[in-house]
Amino acid sequence: MHHFKYVSKRQAAPYKAELIEIIRKVQDEVWDDFTFQFTFIGSSRRNMITFDPTTNKGFDFDVNIEVNDDDEDFKPDKIRRILRKALTRISRQYGYDRCEDSTRVITIKTIDHRHSRVSHSCDFAIVRERKAGQQYIRFNKGTGNYTWECQKLPYKELEKRADFLKKNDHWDEVLDVYLDKKNNNDDPNKHSRALYAETINECYRRHHK
């Protein structure tokens, strides 16, 4: 059992501004290879940032990086390697630790070594839009391969469901369910974006007739 609480928009703002500055410098860094857009998604977009003062984990943010590579000049492993290298180099200038490469995302963290805790972190998913829906670059740790995989529920559809819940006065329930999921999550590999998606889908099914 955790003790997550919501962080105010004002508290989260300086961290978010710093991340935007880092991402824009990454855009400049990779310009010769490809361009990309970025979007803060899920709990990061909806002002649902959480923090557990009893643990060594700080704020966490979620960002989608949408690469412009319509001609598919770059294979998924190269795209992820280029972005990971740029993120590592630039984020270290801001005091972040080296990037971590997990199944769905690249993560950067700031470590407070004196108190042995994470100050804040950000998960970056690399995505693209296709007729069949949104895809993301998945890292298969068993084989070491990187592949484009379809999202179970595209981000745009997920946000349409979130908009429905907000417009129909179910958002307080969303906030309660999400916080409950965060506090009862014992899977270190289940990130905030997955818990947010679970929350939206669960509440949507309950209220959408």
Flag whether 164 is in a domain. Answer: no
Predicted confidence (pLDDT) per residue in 91-141, tens digit: 999 988 878 898 999 999 887 656 556 678 899 999 998 887 889 999 998
Domain count, the chain: 1
Spatial separation of the C-alpha atoms in residues 58 and 97, rounded to whole Å: 14
DSSP states of 14-49 as a string? HHHHHHHHHHHHHHHHTTTT-EEEEEE-HHHHTT--
pTM of this structure: 0.87
Predicted confidence (pLDDT) per residue in 50-103, tens digit: 988 877 677 889 999 999 988 889 999 999 999 999 999 999 999 888 788 989
Can you list the positions of beta strands (E) in the chain?
A: 5-6, 35-40, 50-51, 59-68, 100-101, 106-112, 117-130, 133-140, 145-150
Range of the domain at 28: 5-151
Flag whether 203 is in a domain. Answer: no
Average pLDDT, the chain: 90
CB atoms within 10 A of CB 175: 15
And the tokens for 26? 């990454």
Flag whether 169 is in a domain. Answer: no
Flag whether 179 is in a domain. Answer: no
Flag whether 189 is in a domain. Answer: no
Flag whether 207 is in a domain. Answer: no
CATH code, domain carrying 117: 3.30.460.90
Q: Which residues pair with 129 in a beta bridge?
A: 134
Flag whether 20 is in a domain. Answer: yes
Flag whether 81 is in a domain. Answer: yes
Q: Which long-range contacts (CB under 8 A, 24 or more apart) does 171-175 make?
A: 173/203, 174/199, 174/200, 174/203, 175/6, 175/48
**Averaged pLDDT, 4-14:** 90
State the pLDDT at residue 74: 95
